[in-house]
Structure 1
Amino acid sequence: MFDAWRTRARAVLAAGLRRAAAASTAIALGGAALVGASAATAAPAATAPGAPAAPPASGALGPAAGQLFDEPVEGELAVAVVLEGGGVVEPGDDVLGTIVIANGTDDETAAGTVSLTVGDAPLAGRDALDAWYLGGTGAHEVLRMSAPALLPGESRELPFSVPASALPFEADAPFGARGAAVSWRANGAPPATGRASLVWSAPASGALDLSVVVPITAPIDDPALLPLSRLAELTAPEGGLTRLLDAVDGRGVTLAIDPRLLVSIRALGTAAPASSVAWLERLESLDNPSFALEFADASLVLQAQAGLDAPLEPAEFRFVTDAQEFDEAGTAQPEPDDAAPTGTGPNGDDPAASDPATADPATADPTTGEPTGPGDDGDDPADDAPSREELLAVDASRADLVWPSPGIVGDADLERIAEWRPGAAVLLAGEQVRSATAPSGGAGQSCAPQQRIGGAAVLITDPALDRALADAATAVGSLGADDALGRAAALAAATASTAQSGCALIATLPRIPLDDPERLAAVLELVDGLGPVDLAPLPAAADPASLPSAALVPAENELDRAERFAELVELESQGLELTGLYANPEGADDELRVRLLVLASASWIDLDDAPRQWRAAADRYADFAVGARTAIRVVSGSEIQLIGQQTALPVFIHNDSDRRVSVVVRARPTTGHLDIPEAVTVVVEPNSNVRAQLPAEAIANGLTTVIVTLTTPDGTALPAAAQLSVNINAQLEIVLLAIIGGAVLVLLAVGTVRMIRRRERARGRARLRAEMAESSAPDEDAAAPAGSEPAGAEPGEPERDPAPASDPTPASGTTHDPRTD
């Protein structure tokens, strides 16, 4: 994503190589063509001219070979030289570097030789430096070594060392850049050559004030504020923002600070990671000169070209602050870093559940992600939130600078910027300025970085230094970094060698976050270490009337992007009508504006494949702003049966968006069969259905059509009306109740009859057993004496019936059929 500057640099270098090829029959591949390298092979023994050299170590680079040169080496031999440390050599130091050879032919090369030459005199000025890279002569051989045979498509790295005594100038030679060239001879063909430059860093007095602008910006792949997890990552000890401050701390570079980054930390309140709060405190404590960018580095040029009457400004940040707690002063009290959630990742965590800045506009707890409301004591957690001004505050040393998008500024845009930011100096890319003080009066500049265009004061950057520093700060691989550093050092040295005392130049770094801020640290250290070069603040804005006049070079107007952005501004207005759908409408309003400003960021221009990426981001914004308008709908199904007079009409609502919404459901019957007097508010989760129950009263039986409409809680209609077919049976309920009651009575009667019959059968069986027992017992009553008591009976106790016999079999010769009872 962040390789656009590398791509731009490679295009420039390729053009230089083509010019070199036109000047000689061989391809002159300078060290600048390198964009990466694998680990170097074992260093062969380097020798002075005429001395025998040991054979180099063997080993093919394999897949890395395709990354060594800017363009594929096809049908030819190619060689490049890269000097370590950017080619800056102190008196008495040896020259270290690496020679890379590549066989782009279809045939194996024989073993050959490589030689390195260095110029004895400084290259006075940029013209001389350019001439050297285009085939200049006058160098002395300082190294010759053997080169191995190469298979087709193979390449090798040959590290070398040249002792200081072999250099063609004395230790007290003057400061300056000197040419270095490498030549590879093999197969008897014309030699392949490559060029670089060596900077002899002898003591010298300062003659060049170089102002370097380093952007401190937030990534634009987060559409609003940076989430908690991203901040914790970026401000960790090895995070990108931490290493960026390491690179600029103690250097006299000017910081261009994006307020969005600061708001992202402050708006989290007590939930802000401790590392982020410490990073913010460190930024504010730096002594570097600084100025504030527009919020999200929003391009004023884009807004002017889109026809806006005034630049967009952020409102509040309630979509984050409403869910946070703040100390009494309204500032953040950080949570420990180990308590901060890690956000989304391979474990599948939902970023909206862990990051307050990416949660739904509904308030959410920063740790659990659960929606929250006022505190237990009834106080709103956001009552102590910092004001808008406190959140946006940038403790900058200058407030009179505007830095528009490079390369697209027109005269009308400059006039509009002067109207919007009166009295501010405009920092313009030098490639867009035609200055009378520049060489040949063309695009670029000399040592007059502040000029007048129209009625505005402009600070003009040096395009060559812009490209050189950007190449060095975004280089890939150790060889690519050394090569880019060498070009930047040679350019600065050549410029300083001819600059008059007090000459000032301005250079800017890419506006997108750097992949490796340590590259920037190396660039600043190298440039700051050059004797005649002093890192200095940007020049103070002067009265435009006292400045020399300049003109803008016609720029490509981004009409397509401007027209689309104008459409997005209109979509924001439409989206504001829909924010009532969300639990925090005010926060949703604020988030719409913040996301729109991120889309206006000047950083988009520096991205690789910028048009496609910006269009995709614009489409996502359109869906975020107004997508819910068509994503929420009534689900129409089969005919609905309503039974009874007092009932409820079921209506299913589908939410196809990824945000939770609240909608008001209303129903209007087209006939008098049904009365639905009340609306119902329902909450619909993302990508789900919910059933709304609307109280209804049946007036008459029959079929009717019910028109269902949806609105936001604040009354904005949604285009989701639907017609439902309803069959009403108002009296069917009474009939059914009567049927059910009759059935219950019948069941009770049948049950009662069955119970009576069961009891009668039980009594009949009891009588039968008694008769059977009586018929089978011996006639003991006749044999007993008169007046005697039965055995076991107490005197005066009534006579008991004898217990029935265990075997009720009748006496012999008699039968009894119970069925006759």
Structure 2
Amino acid sequence: MVADSDSAHRPALSAAACSAVRPARRRQKRRIRRPFTAVLVGFLTLASLIFAPTPSLRPASAQTEMGTASSATTPADTVGITVSPRDSSELSPGQDLLLTVAVHNNTDADIPVGRVDVYLADLALTTRAALDSWLRPSADTNSGDQLVSVPTAGIIPAGAGTTVSVTVPAESVGLTDQNAWGARGIAAILSADDVVRAEGRGTFVWSQGSAITPVALTTILPITTPANATGLITAKALESYTSSVGLLSRQLDAAIDAPTATIAIDPQIIASIRVLGTAAPASALAWLDRLAGASNDIFPLSYADADIAVQAQAGAPTLLAPTSFDPAIDASLFVVPPSTPAPEITTDPTDVPSVTSRTKAQTSPSPTPSPTPTVEPGQTVIPSTSDLLAWNYTSTAIGWPAAGQVARSDLDVFAASGLTTTILSSGNVEQSDVFTPNTAVTLPTGLGLVSDSPLSAAIRAAAEATTDEEWRVNVTEAASLLAIVSAENPDSARTLLVTFDRSSPATATRIGQTLTALDGAAWSTAASLQSALAATPATTVTFQAEAIDGSRVTLARSLLEREGALAEFATILADPVAITAPARLDLLALLDTTWTAQASVWEDQVRASLAASFDLMHAVTVTTRGPIIVVGSKVDLRITLNNALDQAVTVRTEIVPSNGRLVVGETLETIIQPNSAQAVSVPLSAAVGNGDVVLRVTLFTLNGTPLGQPAPIDVSVRADWEGVGATIFAILVIGFFGFGIWRNIVGRRRERAAEASAAAVEPAIPAAEPDV
């Protein structure tokens, strides 16, 4: 389709209207079409393009997911003005153009009585780029041909606003059956005291009843909760979210009211309600029943909406999923009450076909049901992990990563995890054709659905509008975009995909109103998820690999490595699931896609989680004493094993000497009771030689994984002191007894010598002579 060149598309004013608006038109055109100003602006624009850094080499259709949507919000200290169709974005021949012009005076000065001049763009807006340039001009550009001029009702006080209703007669619009149908640009200029105060731009769609090929519009609405660091939503939070004005209630209200909208739900919500058993809030159970009764197509997000792209880029071979909910289940909440029918046995979600529509499920023959076990009143029935996660999904093979952050290798991880369809944003593809392609594209590992970023941005802005005026501006832009797509290649039916943002779901309160308005246009029709999946893949769109910020991937990799270490540590428990299952749920919660909007908070949460797991893995320790002296050939070394967990653990104790002066006995396997200490004795044998030895005491799991760092014990070995002492004692004993014997011998010899001396002296003594 080409732009109109026939003068029939230009408006014609009555003589009275011309005389009233001609001076204003001359002033406006003098203001806009000054040659020197145009040359200067062109030069400055060219200079900025040459010297400014280029933000992206992709076309406009390949920019970020949010894009840029028009808004009625007026910046501070400025005067803002918006113009939009009053009732419908469609205008047919013979109809008056009914407009609403809203003025916002955010300055600190009053605006005197003035006028609002309404203009029609010279040419039809036949391309998406032309529409964007009209609504968001980069310079002071031509506003087109003036249609009418309407005075303002009075002074507009500082900080206040006013609304002006404008009616442009059909003959003044100047469009006829000869003008091609499509989007048209309108502008409103506020002037006061011959000074232009503000200019606003809008659009409408000219439709003269010609044959139109409507664009099929598929919409995906996420149902999620705010990011949290834990893997289950508390009962208190669920009660708040599912109240009549709660977050989840508002999201479900919008999805049920939206024409053929597809729901992408976080399975964490379903599991968090079911795991509470009879303690689940009544409002949460009612909300779950409403979801079950919805006619929308439904597919699951990753648990806790964990970003599947960051999982893949952090090194996960397959995508993560919950392993068990048993540690979170209170058995007393699952007692079968009297006169309650037996619970229905649910199927494992992994057994559900990759794409299963409700229509097919209704027409296909039902499988033979397996016999239901008899459950007696008062019996406790604990649900399994598959029971808590099971749902009648339309498809379980769709992956939705964060916008514009999918790498080539991620697709292999998605496919290995059973996801054959990936939802991409425009930032992950490149387009080689000028025409808008189908949402479906062929990826190296399966099918891709590409969301239309500019269209999604306009519809999101309309759904999040806080005023009727803001809603009209944005819904009209969305309608104009769809009209351009329909008219640019009328012989080709297209299916487009619109996604809503998961980071701010609470603000989208006009989803149903917006989608109903677009579905009512002749050039747009609501389509189901199955229509998008069945659309012919576009041949002019190719996958463009992107990557997540390195710091975020590094932290995510730390979380994955930490989980592996926790799994090894948990083998010391009789029931490792008590540690591994909550750790997996918390890990998934920390990978929630909505954390990307809170980078600094997320980093703090990750570091806190890593620190907590470090403390957990050091809850089993060994206490030693030293230095000690070993003076015997065999001694027993006593050490103390500590268990700060609330569950018994089984560990192996291994003692390794630094040299061969000591020989350590066999490794000990010890059971340590919960929250207690256990003393154990380790036999040591002294080898030949004396010296110092360092014993390194290490605790291991039964699989051989060390628990913490080794605890050193300094030992001084004096292995020969026992032999030396015995020798000295023997010498002393022998010396003592030898000395006694020697002394006895010497004493006897002395006695004998004395006796012999006495016997020899006795004959030599003469006899005494008698007295005379």
Give the TM-score category using the shorter length: 0.5 to 0.7
> Match of 1:363?
none
Per-residue deviation, residues 526-566 of structure 1 (Å, max 9, x unmatched): 22232321110135577999762632234244333223222
Distance 1:541 1:523, change over 3 A: closer
In the TM superposition, 1:439-458 aligns within 5 A as 439=435, 445-446=436-437, 448-454=438-444, 456-458=446-448
Question: What's the CA shift for 1:261?
Answer: 1.7
CA distance in 2, matches of 1:126, 1:85: 23
Identify which of 403, 407, 415 aligns with 1:406.
403
Distance 1:665 1:498, change over 3 A: closer
> Match of 1:32?
70
Question: What's the CA shift for 1:181?
Answer: 2.1
Distance 1:553 1:486, change over 3 A: same
> Match of 1:81?
82
Q: Which moved further from structure 2: 177-186 or 526-535?
A: 177-186
> Match of 2:165?
161
> Match of 1:783?
none
SS at match of 1:384: coil
Letter in 2 for 1:565: A
Distance 1:117 1:543, change over 3 A: closer
> Match of 2:632?
none
Identify which of 431, 444, 463 aligns with 2:427.
431
> Match of 1:487?
477
Per-residue deviation, residues 732-787 of structure 1 (Å, max 9, x unmatched): xxxxxxxxxxxxxxxxxxxxxxxxxxxxxxxxxxxxxxxxxxxxxxxxxxxxxxxx
Per-residue deviation, residues 154-205 of structure 1 (Å, max 9, x unmatched): 4331122224758944999897544332323346545532223345789886
Instruction: State whether structure 2 residue 326 is matched by structure 1 residue 325.
Output: no
Q: Is the 1:678–1:694 Cα contact (8 Å) retained in structure 2?
A: no
Q: Is the 1:474–1:514 Cα contact (8 Å) retained in structure 2?
A: no
> Match of 1:598?
589
Identify which of 226, 235, 245 aligns with 1:238.
245
The unaligned stretches of length 5 or more in structure 2 are 1-37, 45-67, 346-375, 626-637, 655-667, 682-695, 714-772
Compute the TM-score of the two structures, normalised by the length of structure 2.
0.62
Identify which of 516, 528, 539 aligns with 2:507.
516
Instruction: State whether structure 2 residue 537 is matched by structure 1 residue 537.
Output: no
Q: Is the 2:460–2:508 Cα contact (8 Å) retained in structure 1?
A: no
Distance 1:103 1:147, change over 3 A: farther
> Match of 2:385?
388
Question: What's the CA shift for 1:396?
Answer: 1.7
Identify which of 617, 637, 641 aligns with 1:629.
617
Q: Is the 2:86–2:99 Cα contact (8 Å) retained in structure 1?
A: no
Identify which of 257, 261, 270 aligns with 1:253.
261
Question: What's the CA shift for 1:269?
Answer: 1.8
CA distance in 1, matches of 2:170, 2:69: 21
Question: What's the CA shift for 1:582?
Answer: 9.0
CA distance in 2, matches of 1:86, 1:709: 78
> Match of 2:290?
282
Q: Is the 2:440–2:450 Cα contact (8 Å) retained in structure 1?
A: yes
Q: Is the 1:708–1:723 Cα contact (8 Å) retained in structure 2?
A: yes
Distance 1:508 1:499, change over 3 A: farther
CA distance in 2, matches of 1:678, 1:454: 52
CA distance in 2, matches of 1:172, 1:407: 43
Distance 1:713 1:238, change over 3 A: farther
In the TM superposition, 1:292-691 aligns within 5 A as 292-323=300-331, 324-325=333-334, 327=336, 329-330=342-343, 384-421=381-418, 424-439=420-435, 445-446=436-437, 448-454=438-444, 456-475=446-465, 480-498=470-488, 500=490, 502-512=493-503, 514-539=505-530, 548=539, 550-579=541-570, 585-604=576-595, 607-610=596-599, 612-630=600-618
Q: Is the 2:642–2:678 Cα contact (8 Å) retained in structure 1?
A: no
Question: What's the CA shift for 1:216?
Answer: 2.0
> Match of 2:145?
138
Identify which of 107, 128, 141 aligns with 1:126.
128
Q: CA RMSD in A?
A: 5.0
CA distance in 1, matches of 2:669, 2:296: 64
CA distance in 1, matches of 2:700, 2:240: 41
Letter in 1 for 2:446: A
SS at match of 1:390: helix
Distance 1:381 1:512, change over 3 A: farther
Q: Is the 2:620–2:641 Cα contact (8 Å) retained in structure 1?
A: no
CA distance in 1, matches of 2:86, 2:386: 45
The unaligned stretches of length 5 or more in structure 1 are 1-18, 36-67, 333-378, 440-444, 638-648, 669-676, 685-690, 697-706, 725-821
Letter in 1 for 2:428: Q
Compute the TM-score of the two structures, normalised by the length of structure 1.
0.58
Distance 1:187 1:318, change over 3 A: same
Q: Is the 1:474–1:519 Cα contact (8 Å) retained in structure 2?
A: yes
Letter in 1 for 2:203: S
CA distance in 2, matches of 1:695, 1:96: 86
Alignment: residue pair count: 572
SS at match of 1:249: helix
Distance 1:682 1:178, change over 3 A: same
> Match of 2:228?
221
Q: Is the 1:139–1:180 Cα contact (8 Å) retained in structure 2?
A: no
SS at match of 2:202: strand
CA distance in 2, matches of 1:395, 1:564: 35
Q: Which moved further from structure 2: 168-177 or 505-514?
A: 168-177
Distance 1:522 1:562, change over 3 A: same
Distance 1:191 1:140, change over 3 A: same
Per-residue deviation, residues 267-288 of structure 1 (Å, max 9, x unmatched): 2222222222222222122221
CA distance in 1, matches of 2:514, 2:404: 24
In the TM superposition, 1:72-221 aligns within 5 A as 72-73=76-77, 78-81=79-82, 83=84, 88=89, 94-103=98-107, 111=112, 113-119=114-120, 123-133=125-135, 134=137, 135=141, 136-145=143-152, 148=155, 154-163=158-167, 165=169, 168-169=172-173, 177-186=183-192, 188-189=194-195, 191-198=197-204, 207-221=214-228
Letter in 1 for 2:238: L
CA distance in 2, matches of 1:141, 1:24: 34
Question: What's the CA shift for 1:101?
Answer: 3.0
Question: What's the CA shift for 1:591?
Answer: 1.1
Q: Is the 2:314–2:554 Cα contact (8 Å) retained in structure 1?
A: yes
CA distance in 2, matches of 1:245, 1:517: 11
Distance 1:412 1:635, change over 3 A: closer
Instruction: State whether structure 2 residue 280 is matched by structure 1 residue 272.
Output: yes
